[in-house]
Amino acid sequence: MRKISWIIKDENFDKSRIEFNGNKYMLGNGYIGYRGTMEEYSKEGLTACVLPSVYDKVEGKWREPVNLPNGFFLKLYCDGEPLSVLSSKIEQHEQGIDVRNAVHFRKTIFQTKTGKKVQLLIERFLSSDNVHIMCMKCSFICKEDSKIIIQIGFDDNIWDLNGPHLRKVKVDKKDEILILETVTKELGVNIFEGEAIKCDFQFIEYTDEANTLRELEVNAKAGKEYELTRYISIYSSKDCYNPEEKVIKTCSDVLKDGYDKLYEIHSQIWNNKWEASDVKLTGDDEAQLALRYSIYQLLSIAPTHSDKVSIPARGLSGQVYKGAVFWDTEMFMLPFFNATNPKIARNLLMYRYYTLDGARRKASEYGYRGAFYAWESQDTGDDACTLFNVADVFTGRPMRTYFRDKQIHISADVVYGIWEYYKHTGDFSIFIDGGAEVILECARFFYSYAYYKPEKRRYELLDVTGPDEYHERVGNNAFTNVMVKHTLEIAISVLELLSNKKKEFFDKLIIKLNYFKDIENIKNMNEALYIPKPDAETDLIEQFDGYFKLEDLSLDKLKSRMLNKNEYLGGGNGIATTTRILKQADVVTMLNLFKDNYSSEVKKANWEYYEKRTEHGSTLSACMYGMLAANLEKTQCAYNYFIKTAFVDLNGNAKQYVGNLYIGGTHPAANGGAWMDVVYGFSGITIDENKISINPHLPLKWQEVNFKLVYKGIKFNIKITKNTIIIDCVGKEPKKILVNIKNEDVYIKAGDTIEVSY
């Protein structure tokens, strides 16, 4: 029985929602992403079984992750007539996901041209126990006696944005397992898919001409239910040296276990995931479901199986944005994992260590030292972002953009992520295992990027782009300068920590990186880096040098100047570039990250000033305004921004195109932002190196928020009502933790419960 508070579903079929539902109902297990499409769809239904760890580039096009021949393909034919929601008469239809168990379900009653009725029920999941397995249970009932053909196997009519990427090598059948071998065109990665099936009925089997599909023919009796279970296994030569053997073995093993057992294990793992990460909201059912959905998204795309991959900006919902990893991961998703599943957080950060050489190559390509991380990072860490990354909607011509060249804050975001992880977990080994090298190389990069202005006796960061991408190549972007200073401080702290705690390692690292002079350099730069300050009269922090001289106009006025709804407002001659309208939270993001360094007056003045001027052209923006608004006790505003963020993949209000570029898909940064709004914003949690602080401001509707946190290996259960805060410290750890509740310090250790009224 599915619990209603965990179900997201559509109760009819609407052709115009094919693309949107493909995102909304997607499944993932970190290794595979599978879009929420109907089993009978091919390319036209934007079906995609994405393998995010395997990228491929077709000459002259963008490199992107591969979509595999679709192993979940299934189409019924009734007396020879194909049944599809796209072409058949539908008497009833339902599609949804149960986010508690990460299962996709559909039910359709088709009516054939001769008036016969066939009910099709399917559920499917991507195993979270063994990420190389996808499972499906399908049953059908005919109202009248009919000849049914079930077409299954691998549909290789694949949807690609920049393909085709795969060459079919062979199709084979071993011990009733259908095996498909493909190879990527660029790097020759071999991918094997296998399909094993189990039926509770007799059938005659045929194969199609290409051999990739098989057809099972059944003389179905009226009213009888026929059940089929399918097990698909996927391995590539990047995973192991014998992917074919692995596929065959996995298929035959799971066939023995059967669907129910596999489902039970999968569901138990999801139960454990929710146990660690669910956030319960009492008094607001809609927000509860949207928040759970956001958490579901994060949990289903997180790499549990490897520390060599991270989470792309569009999750595992397809090939948009080249399947690339952006700052979205460290700044918007990592906080959730730091607090609920530090092992995954560590995997995400180790990915940056494994791609450090790519970041070094990028720095040296531009003539800098150290590590300049890719704006769009794939498997090697080389930048997938092109110099002409957006096409002009009017001319169709590629536009020169400077995301790749000038968003230097990416290296600071990576360092910020490592330090946040360390603050949450106290896991010093992250530095030894590569974190220290990443941090030092990023600090070195910033030193080589900065300009020292002798007349002002300060370092400046000129020719950069901050989070607000509508203003490229600016000087002293406040967000960037503050983040770079933070990087330098972290580098100095890590050097100190290492030299005190791991002297031998420290000495070796300094020699390995030839970092002798750099220590002095980064210390000097840290002392003298220019940080834009709040204006003494207005409290405003100028987003970058000269921002206040730009044309000041309302967002509506700017929009009235648009000639095309998809035109890009930034770039060379975008209409926002000469104005104060910003794409997304910039100064406000910085104020969230460093909220204790600024007074409430400063935060308020800047929030109010920049909010009016923000287009929210990125789904990363609303959560930042929401979080700071909660901190400023602008609770209703905070709530509105939170709702906007939490519903982003449920109502499909996000942009689908920039210029001619398709940017649809899921929005995991916003999903992480929804969690941050609740935990950091409304619940007012701040995590420091030595303490947790709590200062809640709940929205009017909410009677209670209840969530879990892991801090330095200790588990906390935090319950916040309108007037009480209850903290349970779970486990046996004797260590005392300092908790600051509404400005009062208390110590808590495992086994303790503290209740404070406020």
Instruction: Show contacts with ligand BGC in window 153-212 (CB under 6 A).
Output: none
* Candidate ranges 207-215, 277-285, 324-332, 510-518; the one touching ligand BGC (CB under 6 A): 324-332
CA distance 728 to 84: 52
Kindly state the smallest distance separating residue 154's Cβ from ligand BGC, in Å: 31
Under the binding rule (CB under 6 A), the answer on residue 649 touching ligand BGC is no
**Three-state SS sequence of 561-603:** CCCCCCCCCCCCCCCCCCECCECCCCHHHHHHHCHHHCCHHHH
Pairing of strands 81-83, 89-98: unpaired
**Angle at which helices 635-646 and 285-301 cross, to 10°:** 50
Under the binding rule (CB under 6 A), the answer on residue 434 touching ligand BGC is no
CA distance 31 to 133: 10
Residues 186-201 as b/e (b if ≥16 CB within 10 A, e otherwise) read eeebbbbbbbbbbeeb
Of 156 and 376, the one with the shorter C-beta distance to ligand BGC is 376
Under the binding rule (CB under 6 A), the answer on residue 467 touching ligand BGC is yes
Q: Which residues make Cβ contacts (< 8 Å) with residue 606, sequence separation at least 6?
A: 534, 539, 540, 541, 587, 588, 591
Instruction: Show contacts with ligand BGC in window 583-612 (CB under 6 A).
Output: 583-584
Kindly state the smallest distance separating residue 663's Cβ from ligand BGC, in Å: 7
Kindly state the smallest distance separating residue 364's Cβ from ligand BGC, in Å: 24
* Candidate ranges 91-99, 298-306, 325-333, 626-634; the one touching ligand BGC (CB under 6 A): 325-333
Of 373 and 639, the one with the shorter C-beta distance to ligand BGC is 373
Quick one: which of 31, 40, 56, 78 has its CA closest to 157? 40
Looking at 72, 263, 327, 702, which residue binds ligand BGC (CB under 6 A)? 327
Phi/psi region, residue 723 (left: phi>0; alpha: psi -120 to 50; beta: rest), is alpha
Kindly state the smallest distance separating residue 375's Cβ from ligand BGC, in Å: 8
CA angle 251, 254, 260 (to 5 degrees): 145
The site map against ligand BGC for 282-321 (x = CB under 6 A) is -------------------------------x-------x
Q: Up-side HSE of residue 128: CA atoms within 13 Å toward CB?
A: 25
Of 193 and 328, the one with the shorter C-beta distance to ligand BGC is 328
Looking at 31, 34, 293, 326, which residue binds ligand BGC (CB under 6 A)? 326
Kindly state the smallest distance separating residue 611's Cβ from ligand BGC, in Å: 17
Of 127 and 621, the one with the shorter C-beta distance to ligand BGC is 621
* Candidate ranges 32-40, 83-91, 206-214, 323-331; the one touching ligand BGC (CB under 6 A): 323-331
The DSSP code for 684 is -
Kindly state the smallest distance separating residue 626's Cβ from ligand BGC, in Å: 16
Under the binding rule (CB under 6 A), the answer on residue 620 touching ligand BGC is yes
The site map against ligand BGC for 63-102 (x = CB under 6 A) is ----------------------------------------
Looking at 146, 480, 618, 645, which residue binds ligand BGC (CB under 6 A)? 618
Count the site residues for ligand BGC by CB under 6 A. 12
**Three-state SS sequence of 281-293:** EECCHHHHHHHHH
- DSSP assignment of 504-553 equals HHHHHHHHHHT-HHHHHHHHHHHHHB------TTT-PPPSSTTGGGSB--
Of 340 and 618, the one with the shorter C-beta distance to ligand BGC is 618
Torsion of CA 49, 50, 54, 55, to 10 degrees: 120
The site map against ligand BGC for 378-417 (x = CB under 6 A) is ----------------------------------------
Kindly state the smallest distance separating residue 283's Cβ from ligand BGC, in Å: 32
Kindly state the smallest distance separating residue 574's Cβ from ligand BGC, in Å: 13
Cβ 51 vs Cβ 319: under 8 Å: no
Residues 529-544 as b/e (b if ≥16 CB within 10 A, e otherwise) read bbebebeeeebbbbbb
Under the binding rule (CB under 6 A), the answer on residue 669 touching ligand BGC is yes
Kindly state the smallest distance separating residue 467's Cβ from ligand BGC, in Å: 6
**Position 172, amino acid:** D
CB atoms within 10 A of CB 235: 23
Of 29 and 666, the one with the shorter C-beta distance to ligand BGC is 666
Kindly state the smallest distance separating residue 314's Cβ from ligand BGC, in Å: 7
Looking at 469, 472, 649, 677, which residue binds ligand BGC (CB under 6 A)? 469
Cβ 409 vs Cβ 483: under 8 Å: yes
Alpha-carbon radius of gyration of the chain: 27
Indicate if 81 belongs to the active site.
no
Catalytic annotation, pick one of 181, 469, 472, 542: 469
Quick one: which of 270, 262, 301, 283 has its CA closest to 3? 270
Q: How far is CA 78 from CA 41, 94, 137, 435, in A?
A: 17, 20, 19, 59
Instruction: Show contacts with ligand BGC in window 628-647 (CB under 6 A).
Output: none
Of 152 and 313, the one with the shorter C-beta distance to ligand BGC is 313
The site map against ligand BGC for 556-585 (x = CB under 6 A) is ---------------------------xx-
- Phi and psi torsions of 435, nearest 5°: -60, -40
CB atoms within 10 A of CB 4: 10
Of 110 and 337, the one with the shorter C-beta distance to ligand BGC is 337
Quick one: which of 576, 595, 577 has its CA closest to 587? 595
Binding residues (CB under 6 A) for ligand BGC: these are: 313, 321, 326-328, 467, 469, 583-584, 618, 620, 669
- Residues annotated as catalytic are 469
